[in-house]
Amino acid sequence: MQTLEQRLKTLIIEALALEDVSEADISSSEPLFDGGLELDSIDALEVGVAIQKTYGVKLDANSDDVKQAFYSVATLAQKIFSERGDANV
């Protein structure tokens, strides 16, 4: 069974059409922005929409909490888990 972090990596790759990137290329603790995948604000919006569609979790772009959640795949997974309160996300 895939973990939430693995599913998020796949979601990011698919949402952003990252053809030359695989799950193995993305570390769960690697920054998604500065120094990591080098995502930008448009990428964050696209990933946020994909998360909302997939997990039903709306992420408010103006919230400091959400900005911290977008640090890495691991922090995104923690945010989704805390919002859903469901071990089966």
Q: What is the CATH number of the domain that holds 41?
A: 1.10.1200.10
Tokens, residue 41: 């604000």
Please check whether residue 23 lies inside any domain of the structure: no
Please check whether residue 79 lies inside any domain of the structure: yes
Please check whether residue 72 lies inside any domain of the structure: yes
What average pLDDT does the structure give for the chain? Answer: 89
What pLDDT does residue 1 have? 33
Whose CA is closest to 70, among 51, 89, 87? Answer: 51
Please check whether residue 76 lies inside any domain of the structure: yes
Which structural domain, as residue segments, surrounds residue 40? 4-18+28-84
Please check whether residue 89 lies inside any domain of the structure: no
Total structural domains in the chain?
Answer: 1
Q: For residues 12 and 51, what is the distance between their CA atoms, to the nearest angstrom? A: 9
pLDDT higher than 80, residue 87: no
Please check whether residue 12 lies inside any domain of the structure: yes
Specify the length of the chain in residues: 89
* Interval 19-50: pLDDT, tens: 999 999 999 999 998 877 889 989 999 999 99
What pLDDT does residue 64 have? 81
**Gyration radius from the chain CA atoms:** 12
Q: What is the pTM of this model?
A: 0.87
